[in-house]
Structure 1
Amino acid sequence: MAQRPKARTGRPPQRREPTIRDVAARAGVSLATVSRVLNNSALVSEEKKRRVLAAVAALGYTPHEAARSLVRRRTNTVAFILPEVSGDFYSQLLKGAELAAREFGFHLLVSGFHGESAEVRKTLRATRGRVDGIVLMWPEVHRDGLLSAIPEGTSVVLLGGAEDPHHPSLALDNVAGTEAAVRHLVSLGHRVIGHLQGPETNLDAQARRHAFLSVIRQTPGAVAVELPGDFTEGRGYEAAPLFLAQKPRPTAIFAANDASAIGLLLRLAELGVAVPEEISLVGFDDIPLARLVNPPLTTVAAGAEELGRKAVELVAASPPHPQPQRVLLPTRLVVRRSTAPPKEQP
């Protein structure tokens, strides 16, 4: 039985839209080369660029904007890689970052590495193709080759740590803040002044210690009484009786951060030592809790929220290979009720 001819619909067959693969095949190049040409990369020879553009014109190829976004690695996402993600200082830093991210239409990815450089490298590699920029806080002396793990073409801003010749960086003015704090104690009449240090390899802690000792050396009759610390409330709590046992005993203590100062304050209260009547106390950071303890803590406002906001602004403004710059954020002394003139000795 003969087959009946198929009825015609009267509509011409639909023309398939050309794809990037069609362009690559016609031009005789790889998909990656086509992508680079479409995104104005300088990594393609003029001869290949002409072939690709000719193929685009002949086929009538129009790049899909979503695909171009992926090729350009525009994800509108910024990764914050921090030593910790808990604690008042980091909460304030991330608050500032989040507010700035909203203004720029960014999303934030946040990761904490708890001091492990291997974990930082792993996290940096995991960001490949997922973020437009990285904000990395690594305040330790040695970076252990961390920056080599940063994905190529990603904008990077460094927080704290040493100045880097290849990436923009942000840091607090630790020196000016510490000098203001210690000179405040000196102006009240204190001459035996304790210092609860931060971690030995932490560059912020080192800068604060050097500034502390500088003011002590410049002050006639001043004596420094130092104890090692680690930026934690627990270490401040442990250090309180150790300071009281020192000869001479300090009449004031400058703690390298607010957390350790609050630990000191709690333990001194338990030991029946009145602050500031018997010992004045100063911290650094001005975390929200500093104004709520009793007595409210005199401290150095470090502007953690501004630090987070400024980091996002730098990422938004930075091409993948920006001119390196070092931005030093100002600090200021906030005098509250934990400092007073020393008690007269009998």
Structure 2
Amino acid sequence: MKASIYDVARHCGLSVVTVSRVLNNTGNVREKNRRKVLDAIEALDYRPHAAAQSLARGHTRIIGLIMTALHDRFFEMVVNEINRTLARYGYFLALSVSNDVRSRESHDLMHEDRVDGLILLSLPEEDRYVAQLKKRSIPFVLIDNQRRDHMVPSVLTDNYYGGYEAAKHLLSLGHTSIAHVCGPEYFLSTRERKRGFLDALREARLSPFAVVQGDYEIGFGYATAKSWIRSGKLPTAVFAGDDYIAVGIVNALAEEGMRVPEAMSVIGYDDQYIASRLRPYLTTVRQPAESIGQSSVELLLKWIGAGSTASVTVEWKPELVIRESTAALKA
């Protein structure tokens, strides 16, 4: 039998009014009680009647999400958590994959009568989206935004810290010839990872072997490592801007019979699924995908419920995950 709002209230030991406030994101509810309600909703697999709620409140109960890629496992984990969290609040997710604010998919979502709010996930054309959404008074949240000065709710990873920790790890292993292979400069995450990396080397009074900029692709990492091999001059360690670049580097070395980490230590970023499946298992910097997805939904629903919002930035610390692809420099 399908659970009702009364079943949820009984399960968590709170009033129906409190459960309703959590579901509709209205009124003040203590964090402890809000968690009780959400846990009860999940335990009972309760699903609010979306159509009835929409008619009562004049809302669609739909949240749009615009992103540029589906092949990235980290983004996939973030989207899955967004979808799961929205479901707990009785919302549905509408997804658009686009890199152009003028595309039909983006245009369709950016209408206040079609979605209650939007989440923008790491969009290169971020400024255009922000301008359009402000103009149309549609609540929105940025994830992995490219600028920090939009004065809107956003959710970020402390990529400076991630780059710094990656470099410090390699330095602690005795490496002094360290390269950084990174993605496009227009991503704030690229710039911050690089800045953290360079600051760690600067503190050690070292210059990088090289900083090579390109795409977050396996092919780019592969081509970069191949060029070093052809030149006969290789670093002893590499901090790759993401796991895909790292995989490309490892593949290029393997083709030449060069083993990781014996010939070169390699660190990736994101802790994609492949990082714990590739041999050797990849040392990487893990981003908290679940926390990012959940906090973005909560920021957005708070704006929708309150009717206005402050420019809150939530920043999560990444975690260095040490596996087999890094080792101490042999004397």
> Structure 2 length as normaliser, TM-score?
0.77
Larger CA deviation: 100-109 vs 293-302: 100-109
Task: Find the residue that maps to 1:145 and give its secondary structure.
Answer: helix
Is 1:328 the equivalent of 2:315? yes
One-letter amino acid of the counterpart of residue 258, structure 2 = V
Task: Specify the alignment match of 2:130 in structure 1.
Answer: 147
Q: Deviations over 1:226-270 (max 9, x none)?
A: 212211112112111123345752000000011111121122211
Q: What aligned pairs does 1:147-296 form with structure 2 within 5 A after superposition?
A: 147-150=130-133, 152-161=136-145, 162-245=147-230, 248-296=233-281
2:54 and 2:61 in contact (8 A); partners too:
no
Per-residue deviation, 1:169:
0.6
One-letter amino acid of the counterpart of residue 341, structure 1 = A
- d(CA) in 2 for partners of 1:254 and 1:79? 35
Task: Summarize the Cα distance change of 1:234–1:74 in structure 2 as closer, same or farther, 3 Å threshold.
Answer: same
Task: Specify the alignment match of 2:78 in structure 1.
Answer: 93
- d(CA) in 2 for partners of 1:323 and 1:144? 18
Per-residue deviation, 1:85:
2.3
2:67 and 2:123 in contact (8 A); partners too:
no
Q: What aligned pairs does 1:128-139 form with structure 2 within 5 A after superposition?
A: 128-139=112-123
Task: Summarize the Cα distance change of 1:336–1:232 in structure 2 as closer, same or farther, 3 Å threshold.
Answer: same
- d(CA) in 2 for partners of 1:303 and 1:258? 15
Unaligned stretches of 5+ residues in structure 2: 1-49
Per-residue deviation, 1:221:
4.2
Q: Which has more helix, going by share of residues? A: 2
Q: What aligned pairs does 1:298-309 form with structure 2 within 5 A after superposition?
A: 298-309=283-294
- d(CA) in 1 for partners of 2:206 and 2:141? 43
2:266 and 2:282 in contact (8 A); partners too:
yes
Task: Find the residue that maps to 1:118 and give its secondary structure.
Answer: coil
Structure 1 vs Structure 2 CA RMSD = 2.4
One-letter amino acid of the counterpart of residue 121, structure 2 = M
Q: Deviations over 1:12-43 (max 9, x none)?
A: xxxxxxxxxxxxxxxxxxxxxxxxxxxxxxxx
> Structure 1 length as normaliser, TM-score?
0.74
Unaligned stretches of 5+ residues in structure 1: 1-64
Task: Specify the alignment match of 1:118 in structure 2.
Answer: 102
Per-residue deviation, 1:215:
1.1
- d(CA) in 2 for partners of 1:269 and 1:158? 39
Task: Find the residue that maps to 2:165 and give its secondary structure.
Answer: helix
Count the aligned residue pairs: 278
